[in-house]
C-alpha cells in the first residue's frame, strides 16, 4: 500500500480542553480522515453509540484483547477504566485508503508515537486554565464530583507532557484553535 495512506493523526489533551470538538471539526473538513473508534470499559454517556463513539467492552473482553495483543496501545486512563486503540481499527482505516485520527490521552499518544515515529503527527490541545477546565467539565454535566476532581488532577499531570508533542494549540478561542489545527493537518496531508 502507498506510504501516503499509512499516516496517523494524534489529537491529545487533558480532558475538557475541547479536543473532541476539534477532532469533529477536522473530520468535517478533511474527507480523507476517519475517526479511529477506541475501545473502553467505561459506561456510554447519553447519545453515545457503540461502534461509533467507542466500542464499549466488558472488563473481561478488554482484558482478553490485551492478552491476545490486539491493542496498538491501551491505558487505564481513569481509575478502573480501560481505554485502547485496536490494531484492527487502524488497519481497517488504512485498508480503505484513509487516514486515522485518534482522540487519545497523553500517555497513549506517546505510545503510538514510539511505535510509529514516522508518518505520525501529534497535536496537543491545551485548555486555557484549570479554572476554565473545571467550568467546562461542569458544563458538560457528565461528571460526578469525584470524577470531575479526578479529571482536573489528571489534567495538571498531563500538562507536564506537553513538550513531547510537535504542535501545541491553546484552545482559548475555539474558532482560532480549529483553524490552527486545520493548517497543521493540511500541511501534514500534502507532505509525502
Under the binding rule (CB under 6 A), the answer on residue 75 touching ligand 5GP is yes
Please select the residue that binds ligand 5GP; options are 18, 26, 38, 167, rule is CB under 6 A. Answer: 38
Q: Does 63 bind ligand 5GP (CB under 6 A)?
A: no
Asked if 89 touches ligand 5GP (CB under 6 A), the answer is no
How far is Cα 152 from Cα 78, in angstroms, rounded to an integer?
A: 11
- Report the chain's terminal Cα–Cα distance, integer Å: 14
Q: Does 92 bind ligand 5GP (CB under 6 A)?
A: no
Q: Per CB under 6 A, which region of 103-111, 128-136, 166-174, 182-190 contacts ligand 5GP?
A: 103-111
Binding status of residue 180 toward ligand 5GP by CB under 6 A: no
Of 22 and 178, CB closest to ligand 5GP: 22
| Residues near 12 by beta carbon (within 8 Å), at least 6 away in sequence | 19, 104, 105, 106, 108, 109, 122, 123, 124, 125, 165
Distances (CA, A) of 114 to 22, 68, 104, 164, 165: 24, 21, 14, 11, 12
- Work out whether 132 is an interface residue with ligand 5GP (CB under 6 A): no
- Among 83, 94, 124, 165, the residue binding ligand 5GP under the rule CB under 6 A is 83
CB 144 within 8 A of CB 88: no
The contact set with ligand 5GP (CB under 6 A) reads: 15, 38, 42, 73, 75, 77, 83-85, 103-105, 108
Amino acid at each position: 500500500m502507498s506510504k501516503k495512506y499509512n499516516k496517523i493523526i494524534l489529537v491529545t489533551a487533558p480532558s475538557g480542553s475541547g479536543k473532541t470538538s476539534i477532532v469533529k471539526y477536522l473530520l468535517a473538513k478533511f474527507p480523507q480522515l476517519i475517526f479511529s473508534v477506541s475501545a473502553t470499559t467505561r459506561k456510554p454517556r447519553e447519545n453515545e453509540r457503540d461502534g461509533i463513539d467507542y466500542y464499549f467492552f466488558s472488563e473481561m473482553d478488554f482484558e482478553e484483547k490485551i492478552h491476545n495483543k490486539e491493542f496498538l496501545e491501551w491505558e487505564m486512563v481513569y481509575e478502573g477504566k480501560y481505554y485502547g486503540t485496536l490494531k484492527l481499527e487502524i488497519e481497517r482505516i488504512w485498508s480503505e485508503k484513509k487516514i486515522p485520527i485518534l482522540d487519545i490521552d497523553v500517555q497513549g499518544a506517546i505510545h503510538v508515537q514510539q511505535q510509529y515515529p514516522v508518518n505520525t503527527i501529534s497535536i496537543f490541545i491545551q485548555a486555557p486554565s484549570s479554572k476554565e477546565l473545571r467550568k467546562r467539565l461542569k458544563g458538560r454535566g457528565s461528571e460526578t464530583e469525584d470524577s470531575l476532581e479526578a479529571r482536573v488532577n489528571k489534567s495538571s499531570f498531563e500538562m507536564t507532557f506537553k513538550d513531547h508533542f510537535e504542535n501545541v494549540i491553546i484552545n482559548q478561542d475555539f474558532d482560532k484553535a480549529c483553524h490552527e489545527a486545520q493548517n497543521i493537518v493540511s500541511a501534514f496531508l500534502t507532505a509525502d
